[in-house]
Amino acid sequence: MIKVAMVSLYVDDVVKAHAFYTDVLGFETRMHVDGGGGFPFVTVGAAGAQGDLQLLLEPGHGPIAEPYRAALRAADLPCVVFSVDDVRAEYARLGALGVTFPQPPTRQGPVLTAVLDDTVGNLVQISQPIG
């Protein structure tokens, strides 16, 4: 069986992204080592769950990352989707922490979604199945 182990997320600033994804979104640090060249190698994951799935916070500069990120942003597309148990509760919790939401909770077919700005150059969608 093939499973997803790590997904890269290009960010403006790895240190700032690490703080946002752990302190605000509630992820846990999985790896934090000196990656050389002045950039740490940092991965995060869902706290207490999915131990084999990590999000790699990658420096988002360069000839591949910059056009990719610019195209996603220009199209108002999230770079990643996270599942949550209650979109409205997360929207309220994160909003109280100062997180900006370009899209408030919105029904999209069988899911309720909201889109937030991760402060490091990306839009991130949170999603909850509804029945």
Collapse the DSSP code of 71 into the 3-class scheme (helix H, G, I; strand E, B; otherwise coil) and give the result. Answer: helix
The answer to whether residue 1 is domain-embedded is: no
Looking at residue 49, what is its pLDDT?
86
The residue with tokens 């839009």 is: 123
Look up the domain containing 100 and give its range: 6-129
Instruction: Tally the domains of the chain.
Output: 1
Q: Are 101 and 82 in contact (CB under 8 A)?
A: no
Determine if the pTM surpasses 0.85. yes
| Domain presence at residue 75 | yes
Q: What is the CATH number of the domain that holds 91?
A: 3.10.180.10
Q: In which band, very low, low, confident or very high, does the pLDDT at 35 lie, cut at 50, 70 and 90?
A: confident
Residue 12: inside a domain, yes or no? Answer: yes
Q: Are 12 and 60 in contact (CB under 8 A)?
A: yes
Backbone angles phi, psi at 65, to 5 degrees: -65, -45
Q: How far apart are CA 131 and CA 127, in angstroms?
A: 13
Q: Is residue 11 part of a domain?
A: yes
Strand 111-117 relative to strand 103-108, pairing: antiparallel
Say yes or no to pLDDT of 131 above 90: no
pLDDT over 90, % of the chain = 89
